[in-house]
């Protein structure tokens, strides 16, 4: 019995040896046969000179794996690189305009995203003759760099790199209503000089609260002569319009390969995959959309988005980003004005092969999709767009109007400010009023800025609502001096998103944007919240969270709210909720109704009356103070009043009071979530 396995094993080995030799011979014969067949099949195709190309959809921002901008500059014979730090697209747009104009000054340019570049290579830029680095940098939040410039900014702060030989210039994009006006641009300009770089032209500062377009072109028109003088070069004198993207209409692609509104990945809204962010938003179901105003002509919406199963997490004080779509009426009007079939599928391909941005938006897609989801057709067009419209305009008077507005003359600037900015015209209005202007729609698609996500302060606490995110949004709608009614893109769209029992789910693409607007880590720390109107939004979440902590048996500090609205019976939002928190001793509330009496009363008047209470919280008890709402007036008035409280109640000099408030800000004890 014991020998049988051995005999069996021996026979098995013989069979395996035979099998292997057989397989080797068979494979050899098959390989020779396959080679002969392929050789003969290829031969008839050799004389053909035509090639077949398969057009693949390219994701937004498809990037080269090579992050060496120096290599790209050298290989394409360029010497100008324009970096941008942009949160809403304006910085990127300005960078593109500078790079495009460089050709007039013998400086072939390239736009670059610092997030996608090895910025340590800046030290090698001096190896390229007549090289120049320009930085168009926006300041965002409380003096912070934009997301895509954060890594570069932090590296610059901690670097002691020798930038001798680097020639540079900086243009900043900011807003004077914010305390940290253009802080990022100011720092980068100063820091590069400290590290040995050569400033070719003075720092430019753009103010979005006034006319940032005017600030930019004024700086730009002085920048180029300074560049010419620095390098000893002359302008060509020709102002040539160069198209950046090449149009392909009705490409040979299947319908399942065409974008229909996705931000980046094709079918990403249909086949959802976490993690969700700016390039991959979550398609959330809207569970609640209810009116908060009790009467009056205005409307304020309370909207709840379902995030269950998304793996998205938020903290009280964060922002919700919502990707809106343009009005169908406006989109159709544009198609009618230009006599274009909006369902035509297009691809716009960058003519600059070195550019990391292959398309201005996800392609291929239809004109309708581009105008609905990807392009901002409601903004006031900037001067470079008006300049491009001239060649499409037949009437001499209309041509001259556009030429004047696109110029840098005082008269032209005044006309632009009046006819475009003050009269609040968008591209549709311009084409309606300049009837002989009929631009190519693909060129407009190239010129118009991208439609951006809209941000809302989250008005809920994840400790109370872990599977839903709430926002509080005022419907934007107003009449312009031309008699037209302009509507806010996002709020008008959200107003149509009304869920109904048994009906199809209504959805919106969203993602969470982190904020520094946070409750104190210790629940016992007292807080003052100042938020008139929809400025109440984040504080609703704060109050919910403190109420939850109290219900869990924890001790909470004073939670004081200053709220203001027009009339108690009209726009006192969340009134019942807030009164309930007051009854439960969670909240102390001061409310100003500006129009319920003969003289107007605002939140700042209540603060003025309660200076002792404010000092008790922020001075005697090391508490936190929060402001949310209008940056232009309210937040500035509150800041001045806080300084007054510290100076008077804290018995300090003006200088000492300013230092105290700055220290509060640095310690995150004085936080603002404001907009202009």
Q: Indicate which CATH number applies to the domain containing 150.
A: 3.40.50.360
Q: DSSP assignment, residue 467?
A: T
- 653 and 590 within one domain: yes
- 638 and 657 within one domain: yes
User: CA 480, 482, 483, 484: dihedral to nearest 10 degrees?
Assistant: -60
Distance from C-alpha of 80 to C-alpha of 72, rounded to nearest angstrom: 11
Cis upstream peptide for 338 (omega within 30°): no
Distance from C-alpha of 519 to C-alpha of 541, rounded to nearest angstrom: 10
Write down the pLDDT at residue 211: 87
172 is a domain residue: yes
**Cβ contacts of residue 371 below 8 Å, gap of 6+?**
326, 331, 334, 335, 342, 377, 445
Catalytic residues: 457, 628, 673, 675
Rounded to whole angstroms, what are the CA distances from 578 to 293, 547, 573, 622?
Answer: 15, 11, 9, 25
User: CA 636, 640, 643, 649: dihedral to nearest 10 degrees?
Assistant: -130
Confidence of residue 239 (pLDDT cuts 50, 70, 90): low
Query: 3-state class of 552 per DSSP?
Result: coil
- Rg for the chain, CA atoms, rounded: 31
616 is in an annotated binding site: no
Question: pLDDT tens-digit profile of 321-379?
Answer: 999 999 999 999 999 999 999 999 999 999 988 787 899 999 999 999 999 999 999 99
Cis upstream peptide for 275 (omega within 30°): yes
Distance from C-alpha of 526 to C-alpha of 621, rounded to nearest angstrom: 7
Least confident of 86-90, 324-328, 521-525, 652-656: 86-90
pLDDT of 58 over the 80 cut: no
175 is in an annotated binding site: yes
Least confident of 44-48, 295-299, 547-551, 666-670: 44-48
- 204 and 80 within one domain: yes
392 is in an annotated binding site: no
CB 160 within 8 A of CB 120: no
Where b means 16+ CB within 10 Å and e means fewer, 26-36 reads: eeeeeeeeeee
Q: How many domains does the chain have?
A: 4
Cis upstream peptide for 364 (omega within 30°): yes
- 337 and 390 within one domain: yes
- 652 and 580 within one domain: yes
244 is a domain residue: no
Distance from C-alpha of 22 to C-alpha of 24, rounded to nearest angstrom: 6
- 316 and 417 within one domain: no
**Cβ contacts of residue 107 below 8 Å, gap of 6+?**
78, 79, 80, 130, 132, 227, 231, 233
Q: Which of 468, 493, 515 is the last residue of a domain?
A: 515
Q: In this structure, what token pair is assigned to residue 164?
A: 């001798």
User: CA 368, 372, 373, 376: dihedral to nearest 10 degrees?
Assistant: 120
566 is in an annotated binding site: no
Distance from C-alpha of 99 to C-alpha of 81, rounded to nearest angstrom: 7
Distance from C-alpha of 465 to C-alpha of 471, rounded to nearest angstrom: 12
Question: pLDDT tens-digit profile of 594-624?
Answer: 999 999 999 999 999 999 999 999 999 999 9
Q: In this structure, what token pair is assigned to residue 219?
A: 């700086």
- 414 and 345 within one domain: yes
Distance from C-alpha of 135 to C-alpha of 119, rounded to nearest angstrom: 12
Q: Indicate which CATH number applies to the domain containing 300.
A: 2.40.30.10
Sequence-separated contacts (24+) of 36-44 with Cβ below 8 Å: none
Q: DSSP assignment, residue 241?
A: -
Confidence of residue 8 (pLDDT cuts 50, 70, 90): very low
62 is a domain residue: no
- Mean pLDDT for the stretch of residues 133-155: 93
Q: In this structure, what token pair is assigned to residue 103?
A: 């050709």
> What does pLDDT average to over the chain?
90
Rounded to whole angstroms, what are the CA distances from 630 to 456, 634, 638, 639, 670?
Answer: 13, 6, 11, 12, 16
Q: Indicate which CATH number applies to the domain containing 431.
A: 1.20.990.10
CB 191 within 8 A of CB 157: yes
pLDDT of 41 over the 80 cut: no
Distance from C-alpha of 672 to C-alpha of 660, rounded to nearest angstrom: 16
Write down the pLDDT at residue 17: 35
**Cβ contacts of residue 326 below 8 Å, gap of 6+?**
371, 372, 373, 375, 377, 378, 451, 489
pLDDT of 65 over the 50 cut: no
Write down the pLDDT at residue 31: 52
Q: Which of 435, 451, 467 is the last residue of a domain?
A: 451
- 511 and 416 within one domain: no
258 is a domain residue: no
604 is in an annotated binding site: yes
Write down the pLDDT at residue 240: 60
Write down the pLDDT at residue 604: 95
- 667 and 646 within one domain: yes
Distance from C-alpha of 279 to C-alpha of 264, rounded to nearest angstrom: 6
Residue found by looking up tokens 């500090």 in the block: 557
Q: Indicate which CATH number applies to the domain containing 645.
A: 3.40.50.80
Least confident of 15-19, 43-47, 276-280: 43-47
Query: 3-state class of 169 per DSSP?
Result: strand
Q: Which of 494, 515, 536 is the last residue of a domain?
A: 515
- 505 and 622 within one domain: no
Write down the pLDDT at residue 83: 97
Phi, psi of 26 (to 5 degrees): -65, -45
- 495 and 540 within one domain: no
pLDDT of 53 over the 90 cut: no
Distance from C-alpha of 67 to C-alpha of 317, rounded to nearest angstrom: 35
Write down the pLDDT at residue 67: 81
264 is a domain residue: no
Residue 637: which domain range?
527-674
Using alpha carbons only, give the angle 419, 378, 300 rounded to the nearest 5 degrees: 115
Distance from C-alpha of 513 to C-alpha of 534, rounded to nearest angstrom: 18
259 is in an annotated binding site: no
675 is in an annotated binding site: yes
Rounded to whole angstroms, the maximal C-alpha distance in the chain is: 115
The upper half-sphere exposure of residue 673, i.e. CA atoms within 13 Å in the direction of its Cβ, equals 28
489 is in an annotated binding site: yes
Pick from 303, 323, 321, 325: nearest CA to 312:
321
265 is a domain residue: no
- 201 and 79 within one domain: yes
252 is a domain residue: no
**Cβ contacts of residue 147 below 8 Å, gap of 6+?**
87, 115, 278
pLDDT of 585 over the 50 cut: yes
409 is in an annotated binding site: no
Neighbours of 410 (CB within 10 A): 8
- Mean pLDDT for the stretch of residues 390-397: 98
372 is a domain residue: yes
CB 399 within 8 A of CB 393: yes
């Amino acid at each position: 019995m014991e020998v049988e396995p051995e005999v069996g094993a021996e026979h098995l080995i013989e069979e395996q040896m035979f099998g292997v030799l057989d397989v080797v011979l068979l494979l050899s014969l098959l390989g020779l046969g396959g080679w002969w067949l392929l050789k003969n099949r290829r031969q008839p195709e050799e004389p053909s000179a035509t090639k077949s190309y398969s057009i693949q959809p390219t994701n937004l921002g498809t990037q080269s794996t090579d992050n060496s901008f120096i290599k790209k500059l050298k290989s394409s014979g360029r010497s100008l690189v324009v970096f941008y730090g942009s949160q809403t697209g304006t910085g990127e747009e300005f960078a593109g305009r500078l790079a495009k104009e460089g050709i007039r000054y013998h400086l072939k340019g390239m736009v670059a995203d610092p997030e996608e570049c090895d910025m340590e290579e800046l030290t090698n830029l001096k190896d390229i003759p007549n090289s120049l680095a320009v930085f168009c940098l926006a300041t965002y939040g409380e003096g912070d760099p934009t997301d895509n410039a954060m890594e570069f900014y932090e590296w610059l702060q901690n670097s002691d790199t020798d930038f001798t030989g680097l020639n540079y210039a900086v243009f900043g994009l900011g807003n004077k209503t914010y305390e940290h006006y253009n802080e990022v641009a100011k720092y980068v300009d100063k820091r590069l000089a400290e590290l040995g770089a050569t400033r070719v032209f003075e720092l430019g500062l753009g103010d979005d609260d006034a006319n940032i377009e005017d600030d930019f072109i004024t700086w730009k028109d002085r920048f180029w002569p300074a560049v010419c003088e620095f390098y000893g070069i002359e302008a060509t004198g020709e102002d040539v319009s160069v198209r950046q993207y090449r149009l392909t209409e009705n490409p040979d692609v299947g319908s399942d390969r065409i974008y229909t509104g996705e931000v980046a990945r094709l079918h990403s809204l249909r086949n959802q995959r976490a993690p969700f962010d700016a390039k991959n938003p979550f398609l959330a179901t809207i569970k609640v959309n209810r009116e908060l105003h009790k009467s009056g002509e205005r409307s304020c919406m309370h909207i709840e988005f379902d995030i269950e199963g998304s793996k998205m997490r938020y903290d009280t004080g964060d922002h919700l980003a919502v990707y809106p779509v343009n009005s169908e009426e406006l989109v159709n009007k544009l198609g009618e004005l230009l006599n274009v079939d909006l369902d035509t599928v297009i691809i716009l391909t960058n003519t600059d092969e070195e550019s990391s941005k292959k398309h201005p938006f996800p392609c291929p897609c239809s004109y309708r999709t581009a105008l609905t989801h990807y392009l901002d057709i409601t903004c006031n067009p900037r001067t470079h767009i008006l300049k491009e419209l001239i060649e499409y305009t037949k009437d001499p008077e209309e041509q001259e109007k556009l030429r004047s507005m696109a110029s840098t003359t005082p008269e032209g600037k005044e006309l632009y400010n009046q006819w475009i900015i003050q009269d609040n015209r968008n591209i549709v209005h311009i084409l309606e009023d300049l009837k002989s202007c009929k631009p190519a729609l693909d060129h407009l698609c190239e010129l118009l800025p991208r439609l951006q996500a809209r941000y809302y302060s989250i008005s809920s606490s994840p400790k109370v609502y872990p599977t839903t995110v709430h926002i509080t949004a005022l419907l934007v709608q107003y009449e312009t001096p031309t008699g037209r009614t302009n509507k806010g893109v996002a709020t008008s769209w959200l107003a149509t998103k009304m869920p109904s029992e048994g009906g199809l789910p209504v959805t919106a693409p969203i993602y969470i944007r982190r904020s520094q607007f946070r409750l104190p880590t210790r629940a016992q720390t007292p807080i003052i919240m100042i938020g008139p109107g929809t400025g109440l939004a984040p504080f609703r979440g704060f109050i919910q969270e403190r109420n939850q902590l109290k219900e869990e048996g924890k001790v909470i500090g004073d939670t004081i709210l200053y709220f203001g609205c027009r009339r108690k019976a009209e726009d006192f939002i969340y009134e019942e909720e807030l009164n309930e928190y007051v009854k439960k001793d969670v909240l102390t509330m001061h409310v100003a109704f500006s129009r319920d009496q003969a003289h107007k009363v605002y939140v700042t008047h209540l603060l003025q009356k309660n200076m002792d209470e404010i000092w008790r919280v922020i001075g005697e008890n090391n508490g936190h103070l929060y402001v949310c709402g209008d940056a232009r007036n309210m937040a500035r008035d509150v800041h001045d009043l806080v300084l007054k409280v510290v100076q008077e109640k804290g018995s300090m000099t003006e200088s000492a009071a300013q230092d105290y408030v700055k220290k509060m800000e640095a310690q995150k004890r004085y936080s603002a979530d404001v907009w202009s």
